[in-house]
Amino acid sequence: MDTAKRALILVAALAPLLWLGGCATSSPPAQRYTLPADLAAVSPPPASPAQLLRVQTPRLARYLDVEGIVLQLDDITLNEARSHVWAEPLPLQLERTLRARLAANLPDTRVLRSDDTSPGPVLTLALDVDRFQGHYDGTAHVAGQWQLRDSDGESLIVEDFRATTELASDGYPALVRALGESWKQVADAISTALRRRE
């Protein structure tokens, strides 16, 4: 029997084992999530804005800047989900939903993306997100700090933010919706502070 025939017989004999091994290690595809769209926050930009506000892409703590949704299992243990992941990078989702909410809450302000350029004075909103995770007590926690700077880079306002929302039910869809609600609370608090400044 020549070498080619022996190799063919060996492959045929091993094929069922290879197939079974592949079945044993295969896993279901990951569930992908986006933060819920805030339909109430859809509004046209003002024709003659009183001010321009550029929203920078939020900076995330390193453990949050991952694909999987983060869940806090106890007072010190964090877990990144493998099968429940963000459909696009979380910082981009946070920026987009924040811009939409600020534009709705501040009708006299033109809210710009982080890469938009515009002549004239522009305020800049920067955020550091330290917490954006599910919590073992059945809530969604969001926390960090935001800063408003003028066109020269001088700091005008620096404030911490914190929001907690109870999950309506078990599961990752409820967690993502609760995280979206907490982020909406953050956007509303920032809007209130900016209105007070006007």
Please indicate, yes or no, if residue 10 is contained in any of the structural domains: no
Closest CA to 43 of 119, 126, 111: 111
- The phi and psi torsions of 17 (rounded to 5 degrees) equal -70, -40
pLDDT at site 28: 82
Q: Which domain holds residue 181?
A: 34-197
| Average pLDDT of the residues in 172-190 | 98
> Domain holding 173: CATH number?
3.40.50.10610
Please indicate, yes or no, if residue 104 is contained in any of the structural domains: yes
For residues 71 and 106, the answer to whether their CB atoms sit within 8 Å is: no
pLDDT at site 35: 97
Q: Count other C-beta atoms under 10 Å from residue 126's C-beta.
A: 18
Please indicate, yes or no, if residue 4 is contained in any of the structural domains: no
- CA 17 vs. chain centroid, Å, equals 42
Rounded-to-10 torsion of CA 129, 134, 136, 142: 30
pLDDT, tens digit, for every residue of 62-77?
999 999 999 999 999 9
The residue that leads in pLDDT, 90 or 152, is 90
Please indicate, yes or no, if residue 13 is contained in any of the structural domains: no
| Average pLDDT of the residues in 161-178 | 97
Among all chains, which residue has been given the structure tokens 């989702």?
93
pLDDT, tens digit, for every residue of 36-89?
987 665 666 666 778 999 999 999 999 999 999 999 999 999 999 999 999 999
Q: Above 60 in pLDDT, residue 9?
A: no
For residues 101 and 187, the answer to whether their CB atoms sit within 8 Å is: yes
Among all chains, which residue has been given the structure tokens 């197939």?
19
The DSSP H or E segment spanning 134 is strand 123-135
pLDDT at site 138: 97
Please indicate, yes or no, if residue 20 is contained in any of the structural domains: no
pLDDT band at 162 (very low <50, low <70, confident <90, very high): very high
Please indicate, yes or no, if residue 29 is contained in any of the structural domains: no
pLDDT at site 50: 82
The structural domain count of the chain equals 1
pLDDT, tens digit, for every residue of 104-156?
999 999 999 988 877 778 999 999 999 999 999 999 999 999 999 998 899 99
H runs (alpha helix) in the chain: 3-25, 90-105, 172-197
Cα separation of 198 and 187, whole Å?
A: 17
